[in-house]
Structure 1
């Protein structure tokens, strides 16, 4: 936590206020009816224990203190959930009571004061916006309608890789998959590759910069309103303001360009949203601020998370050549005699789906997701006060030996002949969350990941440069909005001679 280290001295002086915060903590639910809690420091509580990779730090603490653990970020009570059984209580039994999301000043700055489906508080406005996203933008029919976009962009990716093979050059798969995800989302959202324009690059660079700034859960100013000045001193607020101003210039231009069009296209998300804004669907409405908020959600939740899981899938396949061979045999058997893959072909590839589920289990792109208690709740005999933040560690739940045999092992076979899926009904596998706040883009994301991975494995054989082995791959995690690998995946591709 850069902010914490930067302000160590003033925080030490503020420790004199410890007694006051102890009383505040008791008032917030820290008494005898509270869950187990690790020791904390005066004033800052457990903030210092988050670390660069919070999912790992929280996992280490929960293995010592239990699957339901109470921390304090300054005076704010924070529940940490690390088992499927407790997650089910939060996301199903008491789903309504925990239906809000925590939103900081920085998130409000980025997401139009929280006027987006990810951050809006639960209520009528959120339900209406959520229904638009689910029923008009990302329903199963709409996801299928983007099949041609997935096919065209994946075909372009294959050609880029072929060019590298003809030059006997290694492939930076990380860079290529980032570009692919940006182009997929850009075409689905805007109807064209806006990423190829100068304005589009500014927009995407701004999203990437904002993601890095939001890598930490909270700053000191979020935990202590009277320390909000630290965000100004650290430069975070100014940096975010600069990013938002540049982004809004681009997004406002896109909106105006679509509005000026006589026939707004209904083949992309922006066109559909603006059609709703103009009253083309009776009984459904949306303002321009929310149009921009939804578009921002699509990019934020779509690009980085899709890229992240694609890279993790290919990384694990490189590390496990037996799994790679088994997947190649399945896909090439289905495609025997065919050159071009159709999405219907994926229905005949159960091992492909198992590989992707296993990658999501081990490497959920958003390893920790958050809720906020809206009401007073008695949870497992503990009294939880309104306003308590809840952090659900999907990464730790996916590695819990109570649910998974050899949980640290990449073993796709565990999902063969299994009804476990990614839709949040099985609380021991929740990479997209669950309940009312489950990610609405699950169908779009999984369709893209399945199709891209199937083509990569079908059309190429893969190796590491200079004869390196899979176990030599650096799988150090990179902090960020979505937790990916810190080192680019550099590989050598050879064209499958049967294609």
Structure 2
């Protein structure tokens, strides 16, 4: 793995977790549902540390991660180069044309998603769809040869870290801050991150 791949993967992991926490804080029922799932599954065994193998038994956690990536793909645009001239939907694309794919727009397409701007993890509970590049409604990491090199790292680390955080702690905003007013402004850099970093207060679960 090249250094660039490590950097992109390492950057997308904390960014996606921050977006997930922001969405969950604004949606307490989803937060409570996820914590209940985590405690029901992990609380039935002597070891309470979450492991990578646990994610297969946590469908709501997986749904939260997918919904977060749908609303907040790490890279909002992907580029491609036409190797040959081709006709697509009546449009002639000359050889050498650079195509710009709007991943952000695809993931919020109202013709594909009901209430596309709403955080609703339940939409993935009964829908077989993944973000590994085969389902073009959810190409949060792009697809094909242009798929994000950080995909494998992010797909393993995000649910593991997010699940561990929510299993061991309850989370609130500092002081009298209202979750409804969390600043969700986006900032484009190496990945699409929050313009105003999220501040949260953890409370250990006894």
Pairing 1:409–2:118 present: yes
Structure 1 match to 2:151: 442
Does the Cα contact within 8 Å between 2:5 and 2:149 map onto a contact in 1?
Answer: no
1:57-456 equivalences in 2 (<5 Å): 294-337=1-44, 338-456=47-165
Alignment of 1:4-15 (within 5 A): none
Give me the whole-angstrom Cα distance separating, in 2, the residues matched to 1:364 and 1:402: 18
Equivalent residue for 1:480? 189
Q: Could you say which structure has the higher helix fraction?
A: 1
- 2:203 equivalent in structure 1: 494
Give distance in 2, aligned partners of 1:473 and 1:487.
9
Cα distance, 1:298 vs. partner?
1.9
CA distance in 2, matches of 1:446, 1:332: 22
Tell me, what secondary structure is at the counterpart of 1:383? strand
Q: Distance in 2 between matches of 1:374 and 1:345?
A: 42
| Cα offset, 1:311, TM superposition | 1.0
TM-score (norm 1): 0.40
**CA shift in 2, pair 1:400/1:298, >3 Å:** same
Query: 2:9, 2:149 within 8 Å by CA — same for their partners in 1?
Result: no
Q: Report SS of the residue matched to 1:490.
A: coil
Cα deviation for residue 350 of structure 1 reads 0.1
Per the TM alignment, residue 488 of structure 1 is displaced from its structure 2 partner at its CA by 1.3
Describe the superposition over 1:23-81 as per-residue Cα deviations: whole angstroms up to 9, x where unpaired: xxxxxxxxxxxxxxxxxxxxxxxxxxxxxxxxxxxxxxxxxxxxxxxxxxxxxxxxxxx
3-state SS of paired residue (1:466): coil
CA distance in 2, matches of 1:368, 1:437: 11
Distance in 2 separating the partners of 1:440 and 1:488: 25
Distance 1:363 1:478 in 2: 11
Which has the larger strand fraction? 2
Q: How many residues align?
A: 204
d(CA) in 2 for partners of 1:369, 1:302: 16
Distance (whole Å) between structure 2 residues aligned to residue 327 and residue 431 of structure 1: 22
SS at match of 2:99: strand
- Higher RCO (C-alpha under 8 Å, 6+ residues apart): 2
Instruction: Give the whole-Å Cα distance in 2 for the aligned partners of 1:438 and 1:399.
Output: 19
Q: State the SS of the aligned residue for 2:2.
A: helix
Q: Equivalent residue of 1:401, what SS?
A: coil
Distance 2:29 2:163 in 1: 16
Can you list the C-alpha shifts for 1:122-161, whole angstroms capped at 9, x where unaligned?
A: xxxxxxxxxxxxxxxxxxxxxxxxxxxxxxxxxxxxxxxx
Offset, 1:440: 4.3
* Whole-Å separation in 1 of the counterparts to 2:82 and 2:64: 35
How many Å apart are 1:295 and its aligned residue?
2.2
Residue deviations 1:395-422 (CA, integer Å, cap 9, x gap): 1011111110000100000000211111
Larger Rg: 1
The one-character-per-residue Cα deviations of 1:170-225 (angstroms, maximum 9, x if unpaired) are: xxxxxxxxxxxxxxxxxxxxxxxxxxxxxxxxxxxxxxxxxxxxxxxxxxxxxxxx
Q: CA deviation at 1:489?
A: 1.0
User: Is 2:136 aligned against 1:465?
Assistant: no
Report SS of the residue matched to 2:200.
Answer: strand
Deviations along 1:69-102, one digit per CA (max 9) or x if unpaired, are xxxxxxxxxxxxxxxxxxxxxxxxxxxxxxxxxx
